[in-house]
Structure 1
Amino acid sequence: MRTAFDVTPLWRSSVGFDRLFDLLDAAQQQTEAHYPHYNIEKLGEDRYQISVALAGFRPDEINVTAEQNVLTVEGCKTDEKREYLYQGISERHFRRQFNLADYVQVRNASFDNGLLRIELVREIPEAMKPRRIAIDGQSNVQRIDHKAA
Structure 2
Amino acid sequence: MHMFDLSPLYRSTVGFDRLAQLLDSAGSFEVPAYPPYNIERVSDDEYRVTMAVAGFGRDDISIEVKQNTLTISGKKADKAEAKGEFLHQGIAQRAFERRFQLADYVQVEGAELDNGLLHIALKREIPEAMKPRTIAIKGAHEPKVIESKKAA
- Name the TM-score, length of structure 1 as normaliser: 0.89
Q: CA deviation at 1:119?
A: 0.5
Classify 1:72/1:141 alpha carbon distance in 2 versus 1 (closer, same or farther; 3 Å): farther
RMSD across aligned C-alpha pairs, in angstroms?
Answer: 1.9
Unpaired stretches in structure 1, ≥5 consecutive residues: none
Where structure 2 has 5 or more consecutive residues not aligned to the other structure, the ranges are none
What corresponds to 2:131 in structure 1? Answer: 129
With normalisation by structure 2, the TM-score equals 0.88
Residue in structure 1 matching 2:90, options 88, 91, 105? 88
Matched to 1:122, the amino acid is R
| Identity percentage of aligned residues | 52
Q: Which residue of the partner structure matches residue 5 of structure 2?
A: 6
1:1-149 matched pairs, under 5 angstroms: 2-80=1-79, 82=81, 83-138=85-140, 142-144=144-146, 149=150
Q: Once the 2 structures are TM-superposed, how far is the Cα of residue 54 of structure 1 from its aligned partner? A: 0.3
Give aligned pairs, total.
147
Q: Which amino acid aligns with 1:135?
A: I
Cα drift, residue 143 of structure 1: 2.4
| CA gap 1:115/1:138 in 2 versus in 1, 3 angstroms | same
Deviation at 1:81, TM superposition (A): 5.3
Q: Supply the AA of the counterpart residue of 1:136.
A: K
- 1:42-83 CA distances to partner (integer Å, 9 max, x unpaired)? 011111100000011111000011122111100011123544
Structure number with bigger Rg: 2
AA partner of residue 10 (structure 2): W
* C-alpha displacement of 1:6: 2.4
